[in-house]
Chain A
Amino acid sequence: MSELKTGTFSVSDLENVQINIGSIVGAIEKTAAEEGEVGPTIKPNISGLRDWDYKLFERYNPVYTPMCDQCCYCTFGTCDLTGNKEGACGINMEGHNAREFMLRVITGASAHSGHGRHLLHHLIDKYGADYPLKVGQTNIIAPNVQMVTGKKPETLGDLEDSLSYVEEQLVQLLACVHMGQEGEAIDFESKAMHGGMLDHVGMEVSDIAQISCLEMPKADEEPPLSEIGMGTIDSEKPVLLVIGHNVAGVTDIIDYMEDNDLTENMELCGLCCTALDMTRYRTEGGDVPKAKVVGTLAKELKMIRSGVPDVIVVDEQCVRADVLREARELMMPVITTNDKIMYGLPDRSEDDVEDIIDDLKSGRDDGALILDFEKLGEVAPRLTKEMSKIRKEKGVVSLPTEEEFNELTSRCVHCLACELECPTNLPISDAMTAAEEGDLRPFEILHDKCVACGRCEQACPKDIPVLNVIEKASQKVIREERGKVRVGRGQISDPEIREEGVNLVMGTTPGIIAMVGCSNYPDGTKDLYRIADEMLRRNYIVLMSGCSAMDLGMYQNDDGETLYEKYPAKFQKGNLINVGSCVSNSHITAAAIKVAAIFAQRNITGNYEEIADYVLNRVGAVGVAWGAYSQKASSIGTGCNRLGIPVILGPHGSKYRRALIGKPYEEDKWKVLDARNGKTMDIPAAPEFLLTTAETIDEMMPMLAKNCIRPSDNNMGRMIKLTHYIELSEKYLGIIPDDWYRFVRSETDLPLARREELLKKLEQEHGWEIDWNKKKIISGPTSKLDVSAQPTNVERLCKEA
């Protein structure tokens, strides 16, 4: 048996010869290596980037806020770990919580890469493994893939190998959850970081595959706008509602509707990321989106209870577990299309279309599992038309009538049980009283804050369907829920990075604010609008994705414009971009990687640590996941963290039970090396954390500005960033921040208009020496200004002194 290492060979006229091709992966690796420099960590295993993680944890302390003080993982237990006690296997509270956090991260990463695998199978089946990847104007098609796996994929088939790597690593990580084994929290932490990194690879594979095949916008600087909101749905027409994250099957529905002239006569609308991806389907080049977006997971139960949809199609991920039970009550057949959600329904994939439609419209079955997308494409729209007629004839209504509404509000005995069980303790009882007196406003306010979880209804001793009451009372505001969301554009192009990279690294573009994640906001959806509007007016680049991208489009300013209409969508200061759905979050990390690759000419191939170090020290970006609730949000955030991007969560985010917080008073932790000579440089405490929470939007505004500050800022950049930090703190907290002076390296870092005032403060309050003739600082600053310094945390990247 001979083995061929490289090169080509041809075979002809062979008989009875077995040819085994183990893998051609090695050849690709070889190509990557031949084409350029390769870093030290191609396809790192669990311990491959442990040193880098440890560096991060030295400054950013894992902070645990357990949600359950017990462990019940194995039958040795249940063990009480309160007060950091050890369980029967020897693990303590810290270790167990780190393990739980890791489990959350790999659950999220698995959701994305499972999605990616399903999509990739489907697309390779349909388009072939040789189908070329096309993501727009770029030489780096897959920055996360290239940085982590060392591969430069060019075809759909090339992506399989990266996904196999992710899958293998996820299995290894899951194995670590088994009882016993790992004893130290810090190594579970490093494993969580590994899972977060893998997540961005999995997401990138998913998104570039669909962008390439499904004619989605490709790094488009002005993608079209799509309609969003419950108020945009015409309930007179038959309504087909799609819920989930995987657009594969829905594209067949859209195609069937177009081929059969159904588009005008029917409403096709979606909830969650499938909705966003439907609007991306075949809109490359600016075509009109072929579906409408209803909104996020927080709208799922509201939309079903509205009684408007005639048929519901679900795929995977953030889909309520009770869709079938809820829909059954309202005669809405449910079609499941993915083996992640089957709801106990009969598999009709092999059955005749007419039979399936008959069984569903006659009510013989509540729903069907259809894994054949071509069949799904035909059944769903045809059934919707039929069900619309049937449901109208039968007069199916869901929300209470006026009379029923009055009866329900007067039935309330104000026991407050619902409020105790409501995840945000919303004031339901007072709203009931107000409604009884004819004032619906308190319920309208509740409607915006309510995430439609239905827990209140489970608690009510009087069996009041509280959510239906809220929704009935809010009909007027629901009709007005009509907005616009920009269709997801995918990657940031190379020319854009080339132009903007320098501004980001020098700080003259004050930073990137990436608003991602789900819709469990502490104070309603308008929060997102407030954050984005404030930061855009201050010239930050605001990137959106997923549910946050949707909710941002729900609000208009006084001129009736959404922010998507008000601000342009290029990758440059003061612009607002929607990258796309959940899996498009990989383009946010990709943008940071590309700044290192294109602006700084760093090798990214298999070179994770160097790139993460670059991002941590030079790219002023902060992630905001204000309403994060899913495990996917924890893996997305953790992937950002390993790459050196800090993330702020809303108060519900504390329920992830783990943060990464620095201690500004530990002065020895706030130092970097200068790569030119290996000398240590003091830096101020920013980013101050890698993962934390904020209590309110008002508190978060100055946190955003401060945590975009980086050691690489030049004085113009630092001046701009410091100006925003001080101004935002004054505007939202009413104070000059205590630590503002720590960011001053020289008088040129001071906000221009307030230089004299601030110099005085430095002299009087902090004892700095000032030369008042020249208006110069003589002594005081702890960090020095040196614009050519090369800040790094990695010793091996330093030249000898």
Chain B
Amino acid sequence: MADVSKNLKVYTTYGPKSAKGTKPAIVAKMIEKAKRPLFVVGSDVLEEKLLACAQTIAKKGIPVAATGHSIKGFIDEEGVDAKYINIHSLGTFLCDPKWDGLDDNGCYDLIILLGHKKYYINQVLSGLKNFSDLKTINIGRHYTQNATMSFGNTTPEVHLEALDELIDNL
């Protein structure tokens, strides 16, 4: 089992509220329970092995918000419902209860993130933490304290193991 819930070290802190460390199996359960999950995928996902994981997760029927230029990894993938959106815009719209989502079916209740620069996604998540009630889980390789839950800091190898475990549990 890939233990990714431990190393929650941060360089500087944002304040009193920090993400809980979490494990792949727990994330899988939360995704199963969610009514409107959204899988938000950043450009760093375009690395071969990470992309394969991301595509597999997407194929489990979770709609994908492809930020940056990550959409390139999802075009023509069968069974994947992916749309491009800028992450800063997405962060803004997610705080707006009047937004109808990427597919006009209403707002989301769980956000799962993968493949973003840590310092960038942590900022976007800070907006969501302070101005929305959304649950956010970062399953990237770096602990991001502004999510509701986050994997801890890991090596690339352990990170891939953790993603495989997550996929097995979905």
Contacts and interface: CB of A to CB of B under 8 A. Distances in A.
Interface of A: 61, 63-70, 80-84, 93-94, 416, 420-421, 423-425, 522, 651-652, 654-655, 657, 659, 661, 663, 665-666, 688-689, 692-696, 698-699, 703, 732-735, 737-738
A698 B86 contact: no
Interface string B4-17: 00000111001111
B123 A699 contact: no
B124 A654 contact: yes
Contact of B84 (A67, A69, A80, A738): A738
Given A70-B16, A82-B129, A651 B11 contact: no
Contact of A424 (B96, B116, B119, B153): B119
A65 B89 CA distance: 12
B71 A735 contact: yes
Contacts of B91: 63, 65
Given A66-B130, A83-B130, A420 B153 contact: yes
Given A65-B91, A82-B16, A661-B89, A651 B84 contact: no
B44 to A, nearest CB: 9
Contacts of A424: 117, 119
Contacts, number: 137
Nearest to A654: B123
Interface of B: 9-11, 14-17, 42-43, 67-69, 71-72, 75, 83-84, 86-89, 91-93, 96, 98-100, 116-120, 123-124, 126-127, 129-131, 142, 153, 155
A655 B123 contact: yes
Given A64-B130, A69-B16, A84-B131, A651 B92 contact: no
A34 to B, nearest CB: 48
Nearest to A80: B16
Nearest to A692: B88
Given A83-B130, A425-B142, A69 B86 contact: no
Nearest to B87: A695
A651 B89 CA distance: 13
A82 B17 contact: yes
Given A655-B119, A732-B69, A733-B72, A63 B15 contact: no
A665 B129 CA distance: 23
Contacts of B15: 68-70, 80, 82
Nearest to A664: B89
A734 B75 CA distance: 8
B83 A738 contact: yes
Given A63-B88, A80-B15, A695 B123 contact: no
Most buried by A among B75, B91, B117, B155: B117
Most buried by B among A81, A694, A699, A737: A699
B72 A734 contact: yes
Nearest to A655: B123
A654 B72 contact: no
Contact of A61 (B10, B72, B92, B117): B92
30 contacts: A64-B130, A65-B91, A65-B123, A65-B127, A66-B14, A80-B16, A93-B130, A424-B117, A424-B119, A522-B120, A652-B119, A654-B123, A654-B124, A655-B123, A661-B89, A663-B92, A666-B98, A692-B89, A693-B88, A695-B120, A696-B69, A699-B43, A699-B69, A732-B69, A733-B69, A733-B71, A734-B71, A735-B84, A737-B84, A738-B84
Contacts of A416: 153, 155
Given A665-B100, A695-B86, A734-B75, 14 more contacts: A64-B131, A66-B14, A66-B127, A68-B14, A83-B129, A416-B155, A654-B124, A666-B98, A692-B86, A695-B42, A695-B68, A695-B120, A699-B67, A699-B68
Contact of A665 (B71, B99, B130): B99
Contact of A703 (B86, B98, B126): B86
A424 B44 CA distance: 13
Contacts of A94: 131
Most buried by A among B14, B16, B75, B89: B89
B130 A82 contact: yes
A696 B100 contact: no
A421 B11 contact: yes
Contacts of B93: 663, 665
Most buried by A among B92, B124, B129: B92
B124 A696 contact: no
B96 A663 contact: yes
A67 B88 contact: no
A654 B153 contact: no
B123 A84 contact: no
Contacts of B17: 69, 82-83
A93 B127 CA distance: 10
A66 B119 CA distance: 12
B93 to A, nearest CB: 7
B22 to A, nearest CB: 19
A665 B83 CA distance: 16
A421 B17 CA distance: 20
A81 B153 CA distance: 27
Contacts of B119: 423-425, 651-652, 654-655
A735 B74 CA distance: 11
B123 A657 contact: yes
Contacts of B120: 522, 651-652, 654, 693, 695
Contacts of B126: 65-67, 69
B55 to A, nearest CB: 15
Contacts of B71: 733-735
B43 A69 contact: no
A94 B86 CA distance: 22
A696 B68 contact: yes
A677 B96 CA distance: 35
Contacts of A69: 14-17, 126, 129-130
Contacts of A84: 130-131
Nearest to A66: B126
Contacts of A420: 9-11, 142, 153
A93 B142 CA distance: 26
A365 to B, nearest CB: 36
A655 B11 CA distance: 15
